[in-house]
Structure 1
Amino acid sequence: MAPIDLRPLASTAREVAAEWGLELGPPFARARYSYVAPAGKGTILKVTPGDDDESDEEGDALALWAGDGAAGLMRRDAGRRALVIERADPGTDLAELPEDQATAIAVDVGLRLWRPAADPFRWIGDHVPRWLDNAETGAGRGLLPIARSLYDRLDIGRATLVHGDFHHHNILAAGSRFVAIDPKPMLGEPEYDVASFLWNPLSYRMRLDVTERRLAAFAAAGLDEARMRAWAVIRGAYLGADEGEAEVLRALV
């Protein structure tokens, strides 16, 4: 996904900061799809674009998690899609840690996030078919036949809140704990979330042996291994797995 024009969001951020008495700093360089900037001691201000529908319930999810497994929500304006969020300090992500330590932390964070929920969150089952249809011309289309077959056999859960973009770069050190950031929250099942963790961090080239170790760690925490494997292929298909990733994903099922 190409970075967006952040100037309209920056204008909204300045407006919100002035109203709320926030000291807005320069935006973070790595924030390319939302406007995210320091907003005083220990907080950040985030403004998401109106067409990013996957972030519609981000504030609701942060409020539900209440700082347990995710960065805490301090204030929000749903109309302007503005959130004041606890700043993770020092903010290093799991990509900086050894493989097994990073996976163990991800398991712990995931178990805190995956909790019962209902409205206003949407169900992934109402969206995945469309995402698979849109993948017909994408990079992951070679996985589509097996992805569709696996999806058709799943009876998808709808009572658990999932993060939606669960990976190394969205789990940060915050003092003595680690917290998730940037959720795309929906209702589903924990196994859905594991897929994106399997092909990250960005510097990593997906390997079958590492993937199997990661799956085993989540399975040991109680997740269903067959469903994790199925979701990895399904999500790899519509998120555009490259040739090397697709080879690993096929081997999982």
Structure 2
Amino acid sequence: MPDRLVRTAVRWCGEEAARPWLAALPDVAAEYLARWNLRLERTVLPGGALSLTLLVRREDGTPATLKLGFVDRYTAHEAEALAMWAGRGAVRLLDSDVSRGTLLLERLQPDVSLRSLPEDRAMLEAVEVLRHLWITPPEDCGIDLVADRAGLWTRTMPRRHAALGEPCPKALVDEAVHLCAELAASQPRIVALHADCHHGNILAAERAKWLAIDPRPMLGEPAFDLGALVRDRLATLVAETRPQAVVRRRVTWLSDALDLDTDRVRGWALVQALALGLWCVSVGDPAGEDLLSVAEWLA
């Protein structure tokens, strides 16, 4: 079992939910290897934060990837989004058991992500991937709405901020709550969003140069989808001499590259950094303080 998976599952999901799920993974893996006639090659290390990822061969010898994921509100619609994209800009879904969080995916190059490129080049490639993903969803699409998530954040951010002893200025939380309401109510168009499209979630492939993996899909405006890129390479970002300038430069560059409103990109990036930062602090994730700093730099 990958050490990273054990650490993040317990920290993010809690002992009560994580330990039984982790304990069952070997049997679940064996079950689906047999059900889908797969031959195991190796486990991907360090692997996903909330998934066990196995490289396998199908019965006809075709390489594939078996993903056993923890199902929550953020991952519940991953298969639906991948099926909707049908391989355009994202990894292709070959089979699935949605209720168990089990996906059979085409094989990409698991050890080669956009993190292997210099930041400027990686941003260019990420932008091209996002262009393919931003499609109009079908009317019966069940994926969560950005507007609903924003409504949730307006309630949870102030409560969490107070419960944690105000780890950042209250004015920043007030601004984020205001932005949630304002931006959610004025979205210019609704498309399918990846919602976690950072450099580590875009892998090298054969049928396309780069393809996205691990979406936490939502339906909303494109500007929302750039938050992960604005705060990407977090450890490197906070070590910069002038990190605020770097963050704001990313906002401007991404907005211009995709012809989006800079204020909306900045606003959603701030909201996401603050909401995620407060949550990370609440579960003891060391990234929390850095994410709160990103939110302040965007204010």
TM-score, scaled relative to structure 2: 0.76
Q: Which residue of 1 aligns with 2:126?
A: 106
Please point out which of 181, 190, 209 is paired with 2:222: 190
Deviation of the 1:21 alpha carbon: 0.3
Change (3 A) 1:22 1:145: same
Summarize the Cα distance change of 1:167–1:132 in structure 2 as closer, same or farther, 3 Å threshold: farther
Residue of 4, 8, 32 corresponding to 1:2: 8
Asked whether the equivalents of residues 154 and 180 of structure 2 are also in contact (C-alpha less than 8 Å), the reply is no
Aligned residues of 2:204 and 2:210 also touching (Cα < 8 A)? yes
Tell me if the contact between 2:231 and 2:273 (Cα under 8 Å) persists in the aligned partners: no
One-letter amino acid of the structure 2 residue matched with residue 225 of structure 1 = T
Shift of 1:44: 0.6
CA RMSD after TM alignment: 2.3
Partner Cα distance (1:179, 1:169) in 2: 11
Shift of 1:202: 4.5
Q: Which amino acid aligns with 2:104?
A: V
- CA shift at 1:108, angstroms? 0.6
Q: Contact conserved, 2:273 with 2:294, CA < 8 A, in 1?
A: no
Q: Give the letter for the 2:296 counterpart.
A: R
Equivalent residue for 1:11?
A: 27
Q: Any conservation in 1 of the 2:234–2:290 contact (CA below 8 Å)?
A: no
Bigger radius of gyration, 1 or 2? 2
How far the C-alpha of 1:69 sits from its partner, in A, is: 0.9
1:60 aligns with 2:88: no
What amino acid is aligned across from residue 57 of structure 1 in structure 2? Answer: H
2:53 to 21, 36, 45: 36
| CA-CA distance at 1:88 after TM superposition | 1.4
Query: Counterpart in 2 of 1:161?
Result: 192
Give 1:58 deviation, angstroms: 0.6
Instruction: Please tell me whether residue 216 in structure 1 is matched to residue 252 in structure 2.
Output: yes
Deviation, structure 1 residue 169: 0.8
Task: Give 2:143's match in structure 1, choosing from 114, 117, 121.
Answer: 121
* Percent of aligned pairs with the same amino acid: 32
- Name the CA distance, whole Å, in 2 between partners of 1:57 and 1:248: 28
What are the superposed Cα offsets for residues 165-219 of structure 1, whole Å, 9 maximum, x if unpaired? 1111111111351111100011111111111111112442242232233223322
Would you say how many aligned residue pairs link Structure 1 and Structure 2? 252
* Unaligned ranges ≥5, structure 1: none
1:156, distance to aligned residue in structure 2 (A): 4.9
In structure 1, how many angstroms separate the alpha carbons of the residues matched to 2:25 and 2:142? 24
Does 1:48 find its partner at 2:69? yes
Change (3 A) 1:43 1:127: same
Q: Which has the higher contact order (CA 8 A, sep 6+)?
A: 1
